[in-house]
Amino acid sequence: MEIGKISIVILNYNAGELLEKCISSVMKSNYKKIELILVDNDSKDDSHKKCKERFPEIKLIENKENLGYCEGNNVGLKQISGEYCIILNPDTEVEPNWINEFLKEYKNHGEGLYQPKLLATSNKKRINSAGNMMNIFGFGYSIGKGKGNSQEYDKFRTVNYASGACLFTSKKTLGKIGFFDPYLFAYHDDLELGWRAAHLGIKSFYVPSSTVYHSESFSFKWNSKKFYLLERNRWYCILTHYSKTTFYKILPSLIIIEIITFLFFLSKGMINEKIRASKDIIKDRKIIGKKHSELEKKKIISDKQIIEEFSNIIEIPSQVSSSSVSLVFNEIISFLGKITKKMI
């Protein structure tokens, strides 16, 4: 491990010109002691090869198949040699001082998972993520998504989990938490990592002074596969992270949420994805049981302590649901969440 070096892992899958823009911005960083590892998930657009030609100093790893977000990033993380590491999406562009701001807050607050202020590339005055929160029923969301970049989002704070679009930590901290869970493939990966870290007493932080731009048009596509993975992975996280005692206490409320979720998927024409997600969770119960046992043995912080930090609401993107439906849904989960928290 080289002291002071920052290892940056970028996972690529057909990102095209966005990848080149991302790497170009990273190379303009004020902090120069960096190692850039580009992992390609069997892209067909040759974007990774073009970047290697333009930036020969990068370390290119070519996977023979698409391993997904989790395992793809893990391949790169296993190769890092720096004291610190950053996981960075290929559809991002960074401000020159982004790394310095991470290091400053890390010095002040110690080990943890850190994310920058993520702004939309298409409109740099619009928030993409000002930290991420989750609620007791496993739903996660980005704070301020789609809203204007106001002073409200300029305060450093603790969050439930740091965005996987840009995540800073130390190699030592990552060694304690572990890599991304390959079962998830994609989506809820950062939520699961942050939840796992919280059980070890490792917090997640939002650093507004570090700015990164995120291209929503590339990464924020709502389709049947995304609906399926989000729902399957939400249940995977619930079943692996809560103790059996906690799970049975929240089960009555979960059943109500399950009915509402079923109706939501039905309204979106995605009921097959909901059924498929449920079937896969049942089919993979042995895998889930094994992971649950592993995590229970490592827990330092109780479910009750972590749940107290969870949000009672979720911010639903306008691409997913209308404001009126979101309002009703939030009223229900807020009511159920408050009642359930008192039972734990």
- Fill in the amino acid letter for 69: Y
Rounded to whole angstroms, the Cα distance separating 66 from 13 reads: 8
- Residues of each domain in the chain carrying CATH 3.90.550.10: 2-219
- Per-residue pLDDT averaged across 141-161, rounded? 96
Predicted local confidence at residue 251, as pLDDT: 97
Percent of the chain surpassing pLDDT 70: 96
Q: Which residues, 6 or more positions from 37, have their beta carbon under 8 angstroms from its beta carbon?
A: 7, 8, 9, 10, 58, 59, 61, 76, 79, 80
Give strand ranges (E) for the chain: 2-12, 34-40, 59-62, 82-88, 92-94, 113-120, 127-129, 132-134, 140-142, 157-159, 166-170, 204-214
Residues making up the chain, counted from first to last: 344
Give the burial class of 107: count Cβ atoms within 10 A of its Cβ; 0-12 exposed, 13-18 middle, 19 or more buried: exposed
Mean pLDDT of the chain: 94
35 — phi, psi (to 5°)? -125, 120
* Each residue's pLDDT tens digit, 286-310: 999 999 999 999 999 999 999 999 9
- Per-residue pLDDT averaged across 118-122, rounded? 95
Query: Is pLDDT at 220 greater than 50 in this prediction?
Result: no
Superfamily assignment of 2-219 in CATH? Spore Coat Polysaccharide Biosynthesis Protein SpsA; Chain A (3.90.550.10)
Cβ neighbours around 152 below 10 Å, total: 12
Tokens 């008192």 — which residue? 342
* Each residue's pLDDT tens digit, 227-269: 999 999 999 999 999 999 999 999 999 999 999 999 988 988 8
- Number of helices (H), then strands (E), belonging to the chain: the values are 13, 12
Q: Using an 8 Å Cβ cutoff, are 213 and 118 in contact?
A: yes
* Each residue's pLDDT tens digit, 316-330: 766 666 677 778 888
SS3 90: coil
Query: Is pLDDT at 219 greater than 60 in this prediction?
Result: no
* Each residue's pLDDT tens digit, 25-71: 999 999 999 999 999 999 999 999 999 999 999 999 999 999 999 99
Predicted local confidence at residue 324, as pLDDT: 76
Predicted local confidence at residue 228, as pLDDT: 95
